[in-house]
Structure 1
Amino acid sequence: MPKNLQRQWWFMFPITFISGYAAYLLVSAAGIGGLETLAQMLVFALCFAALRTGLQFISWLGIVAFMPKLAKSVLDQETASK
């Protein structure tokens, strides 16, 4: 995924929010309750990172599929900056 798109607040804010909330729901469903210990925080962080990466990938595929001009402009900006 292009780095320029990952720096856009309109792309990263919803993904980060959704990933954090989904990770919280997953950890709660697993019966881990609060995040008091280091192990609980590590499980939450791993869930969050995996969900965020997956959502970024799915979002990029959606942008490529439904807004190809935006995807092309982002890729063109990235290749021009190199």
Structure 2
Amino acid sequence: MTPLLAGLLLLVAATGAGVVLTRQPRRQVMAMAANGLALTVLFTALQAPDVAFSQLVVGTAAVPLLFLAVLASIRLHRPEEKE
């Protein structure tokens, strides 16, 4: 295993741990996007450009945007608290 692949695997592990250990939903979405970007770089280094492109589009852009839209929708439709 080359040092580049070892470093990328550690980066993917670190970003994955960031997703799991983050408690705030918006930060989790951003951590998930960062994990998707790290996976994209890893797949590119492993010479799998089709998988890397799919990961870039779906895991780094589409899914986090959908999660952010859902979080915004939940915030808009949440009943206001009465004191």
Normalised by the shorter chain, which TM-score bucket?
A: 0.3 to 0.5
